[in-house]
Amino acid sequence: FTVTWAGQPAFQNPPLHFWLLAVSFRVLGEGDLAARLPSLLMAVATLLLTLRIGQRLVDRRTALSAAALLVISPIFVNGARGCMLDLPLAFWTSSALLLFIEGRRRPWLHLAIALPLAGAILTKSVLGLLAVPIMALACLHPDWRPRRAGWLCAGVVLGMGLGASWTIHQGLTIGPQAVWAHYWGEIGSRAGAGFDPLSAVLGYPLILLQHYQPIVIPGLLGCIVLVRNRHRWTAEEALLVAWALLPILLYSLSAARSPRYLYPILPPLALCASLWLQRALPAVERRLATRVVPAVALAAAATFVVSPAALTRDLNGPFKRHAELIQERVAAEEPLPYLGRRFWEHANPRL
């Protein structure tokens, strides 16, 4: 349960994704592909979840276009080929919300929410709770109120209990200082540091415009259309709006902001974008999944093979340029994660 850095306990993140990485390394050996494989598989699963959720909330055409939009979204692709915890969080959150949706017909499925909810918490700690307020807000619509609320309550409580297992273990084996180091040192102190009301209002809108193209503009326009028609909301539209907008509002209350924190809104944002394109640009939307995305994906794949540097920055450049200095001053076999403030990515863009 205890994550370590350079042999010492580290309290930044829970251990679940590191366990998955360990399994991948054991099967494939240590290397780029093994490190990226869990995120790659979760990205593919997130596309499939988007398809299923879209079919259940809207229709097959909208779902297919939404998945296509994710495929050509750089932030989704970068998350898929990286080794961060944010795309896995999107996968776990989407899984929990799909079970919430399916439980509308079969209430016993709400109990299974415990597994992805625990997975989200054991991946990203407090941020893993995101599905809970989304479900709570959706339940304000009468059609989402479960016929047998006991299943849903049991699933949420069990998931939170399983998710708390890491915190309990750290407190019992290392002591209260471990819990304090994580929840205050890593979360509370950053969330409350230098809070600025103007940044709270403008922070995430600017982040979305900068990092979430090409889906953010049609996605937000789709949300606006749904919000304007809120008096005629269907249950499905209410859930889409809650899922797309509530995380932005909640995370804006924290002084710690990052484009990566918003990964869980990618599926509903893509679905809202698809809905808006159907209304405003139906010809474009019809060709999106069958022509535009396959062409763009093939062109990008070919570019990665022929000239990968054209599609990615060389984040390891400072290490290469200062190779002689590093060899002179750093002992052999000594880990070198940073040069100044530059982080060594160890990234092969072809993977």
Per-residue pLDDT reduced to its tens digit, 101-152: 999 899 999 999 999 999 999 999 999 999 999 999 999 888 888 777 889 9
Query: Using one digit for the tens of pLDDT, what is the confidence trace for 212-268?
Result: 999 999 999 999 988 888 777 888 999 999 999 999 999 999 998 999 999 999 999
What is d(CA 256, CA 192) in angstroms, rounded to the nearest whole number? 8
Where is 4: in which H helix or E strand? Answer: strand 4-5
Do 244 and 265 touch, CB atoms closer than 8 A? yes
- The percent of residues in the chain predicted with pLDDT above 70, rounded, is 94
Element (H, E) at 102: helix 86-102
The owner of tokens 């229709």 is 59
* % of the chain surpassing 90 pLDDT: 58
The kind and range of the H/E element at 91 are helix 86-102
Strand, coil or helix: 339: strand
* Tokens at 253, concatenated: 């209350």
Segment 157-183, tens digit of pLDDT: 999 999 999 999 999 999 999 999 999
Specify the pLDDT at position 338. 66
Write the CA distances from 31 to 7, 35, 168, 297, integer angstroms. 20, 6, 33, 25
| Site of tokens 């940073």 | 338
Residue 347: the pLDDT is 42
Domain boundaries, the chain: 4-312
Q: Is residue 63 a contact partner of residue 268, using CB atoms and an 8 Å limit?
A: no
CA distances from 80 to 74, 118, 161, 230, 301 (A): 10, 21, 29, 34, 14
